Amino acid sequence: MTKYLAYFRGKMQTLLQYREAAISGALVQIFFGLLRIYLLKAFYASSSLVPPIPFEHAVVYVWLVEGTLRLAPYAPDGEIVQQIRSGQVAYEWIKPLDLYHAWLSRSLASKIAPTLLRFFPVILISSMFFGFRAPDSFLAGLSWLISLSAAVLLSAVITNLLNITLLWTISGEGISQLLTASSYLLSGQMIPLAIFPDTIRDIFRFLPFSGIIDLPNRFYLGELSWQQLPIALAFQFAWIVFFWIVGQGVLRAGIRRIVIQGG
Amino acid sequence: MLSMGQLLVTGIEFLVVLALFYRFDSLLTWSLAEVALFYGFIHMVFAFSDAFSRGFDLMPLMIRTGELDRMMLRPVPVFMQLAGKELTLRRLGRLVQGMLVGIWAWNELNISYSIETIGLFFWAASSAFLLFQAIVILQATLCFWTTESIELGNLFTYGGVEAVQFPITIYPTSIQRFFLFVIPLAGVSYFPLVYLMGKANFFGIPVWIAFLTPLAGWFFWAFSLLVFHLGMKHYASTGS
């Protein structure tokens, strides 16, 4: 266990160095968040139909999305890309650790560190100037934190599966773009899932990506009550276990076919 | 694979527009087809411009490695060499979906195919192309002083696309002014397209202004080249 913790800590410490980049990143995200809010505001103002969620909720939802943007699975681990390209990955197999969990520790760190760095500036500025609000109630906030923790794990197992597919694709750029696109749409990062047509919304909410952004956000807003937390966690953990098993299976298959060139 | 991914990534943005129109009917005074014209135009042009701009992103690398010195010896302007350096098809997906959406909108809005409309379209497209390239050139020019790349340019290119893929009347005046006078994206996109739709431009300005506003893109580009040349004069090789 301590070995994996060391992997986690190493990656965390590396990533937490990028503070200036995180600040400018947070500013960029505030700009994009504002554009999104003005767009929604214009749509809300021009419709006589009853909106699926109140505008104030949509605003808070957008800021939660911007604050936790880096939580979503979107790109493979840069170092693992390098290792696979250069063949250094062979040395990783010699080490007395389970490669899947070593990589998973890194994936976890790569989700947590950038999110921590960006969350606070985005939330601070948006709550001062742009309509971000405290959670619906204390229990809503607590449920949000708990389901957000599960979301981190879910995102990490998906990211790790992306890392593993690099054994086939080498660059991973195509797949990571597809993944980015799906997670953008399906997690609720572009617009709250509630805005999609009802049947499409229900399908999206059944897919794993909704467990990363949409689900925690709905606890925060009080759209889901804390009594529903066990069901939500069961949903998230069902997908976590699914990707955990698939990831290990794919890794095993990948290792079997790999040929290491001497050099 | 990469282009397919691109097509999906940017195609998904349009799905969101569709979802919003499904839920809310209209966007202030704008219909789906009108928004689609703004959307298709800017994505199409940005894809084109991006293909001829990525080379400028390599500036910090080329300054560090001394590659830039070699470029200066060749009898072709450096900025042209840079523009053609990373000519990739990576943005094909964005280009295709922008075109599909744009052509659909053009027909849906019953815009005629005359010399006037097609001419105005290409006039606006050319200056939008140059405007996007100018932003990247300005960003690259900063490297002469900092030798590090600044991410600010991406905010103006990607942020600009994000903003003007919708009519700018939906934004508060501060953002409108920014895209009118600082980064004049409204001049190259909003006014010409509104003219093509045969709509008033909501700023109380005569509609024929649409033929003049694209000049802003050309001026901006000329300005960026001027700054680039100043940077070249200032440049002293890192001597590697």
| pLDDT on residue A150 | 96
CB contacts, 8 Å: A54 with chain B:
none
Of A179-183, B168-172, B191-195, give the lowest mean pLDDT range.
Answer: A179-183
With an 8 Å Cβ cutoff, is B92 touching chain A?
no
Q: Which residue of A has its CA nearest to B175?
A: A35
> Do A191 and B154 count as a contact with CB atoms less than 8 A apart?
no
Q: Is the pLDDT of residue B167 over 60?
A: yes
**Alpha carbon of A72: minimum distance to chain B alpha carbons (Å):** 15
> Do A38 and B172 count as a contact with CB atoms less than 8 A apart?
yes
Backbone phi, psi, residue B27, to 5°: -115, 100
Q: Which residue of A has its CA nearest to B11?
A: A181
> Do A197 and B171 count as a contact with CB atoms less than 8 A apart?
no
User: pTM (2 decimals)?
Assistant: 0.88
Calpha distance B147→A17 (Å, rounded): 20
Which amino acid would we find at residue B47? A
> Do A181 and B5 count as a contact with CB atoms less than 8 A apart?
yes
CB contacts, 8 Å: B175 with chain A:
34-35, 38
| pLDDT on residue B221 | 93
Place of tokens 């004049």: B184
Q: Is the pLDDT of residue B19 over 80?
A: yes
Q: How many domains does chain A have?
A: 1
Interhelix angle B32-51/B115-141, nearest 10 degrees: 50
Q: Is the pLDDT of residue B204 over 90?
A: no
Calpha distance B172→A130 (Å, rounded): 13
Three-class SS string for B80-115?
HHHHCCCCCCCCHHHHHHHHHHHHHHHHHCCCCCCH
Which has the higher per-residue pLDDT, B148 or A253? A253
> Do A38 and B171 count as a contact with CB atoms less than 8 A apart?
yes
Share of chain B above pLDDT 90, in %: 42
Which has the higher per-residue pLDDT, B175 or A75? B175
Place of tokens 């744009």: B102
> Do A175 and B1 count as a contact with CB atoms less than 8 A apart?
yes
Three-class SS string for A123-180?
HHHHHHHCCCCCCCCHHHHHHHHHHHHHHHHHHHHHHHHHHHHHHHHCCCHHHHHHHH
Place of tokens 């302007």: B77
Calpha distance A56→A44 (Å, rounded): 11
| pLDDT on residue A233 | 96
Instruction: Provide mean pLDDT across the span B85-110.
Output: 85
| pLDDT on residue B222 | 93
**Alpha carbon of B91: minimum distance to chain A alpha carbons (Å):** 12
Instruction: Provide mean pLDDT across the span B32-38.
Output: 95
Where in the sequence is the domain holding A180, given as residue range(s)?
2-261
| pLDDT on residue B93 | 79
Best residue of A69, A178, A182, A189 to probe chain B, by most B CBs closer than 10 Å:
A178
Instruction: Rank B33-42, B54-63, B82-91, B203-212 by mean pLDDT and report only the highest.
Output: B33-42
| pLDDT on residue A28 | 85
| pLDDT on residue A37 | 95
| pLDDT on residue B2 | 61
Please provide the DSSP assignment of A15-78 as one string: HTT-HHHHHHHHHHHHHHHHHHHHHHHHHHHT--SPPSS-HHHHHHHHHHHHHTGGGS--S--H
With an 8 Å Cβ cutoff, is B232 touching chain A?
no
Sign of CA dihedral A164, A168, A173, A178: negative
| pLDDT on residue B149 | 56
CB contacts, 8 Å: B1 with chain A:
173-175
| pLDDT on residue A9 | 84
Q: Shortest CA distance to A156 belongs to which of A2, A7, A3?
A: A7
Per-residue pLDDT of chain A (263 residues; tens, 9 = 90+): 788 888 888 887 877 777 777 777 788 889 999 999 999 999 999 877 788 899 999 999 999 999 998 888 877 777 787 887 777 777 877 787 888 998 999 899 889 988 888 899 999 999 999 989 989 899 999 999 999 999 999 999 999 998 888 887 766 667 777 888 888 889 999 999 999 999 999 999 999 999 999 999 999 999 999 999 999 999 999 999 999 999 999 998 888 877 666 54
> Do B25 and A174 count as a contact with CB atoms less than 8 A apart?
no
Calpha distance B67→B130 (Å, rounded): 25
| pLDDT on residue B151 | 65
> Do B23 and A200 count as a contact with CB atoms less than 8 A apart?
no
| pLDDT on residue A151 | 96
Please provide the DSSP assignment of B167-217 as one string: -GGGS-HHHHHIIIIIS-HHHHTHHHHHHHHT---SSS--GGGGGTTTHHH
With an 8 Å Cβ cutoff, is B19 touching chain A?
yes
Calpha distance B148→A230 (Å, rounded): 49
Q: How confident is the model at residue B18 (pLDDT cuts 50, 70, 90)?
A: very high
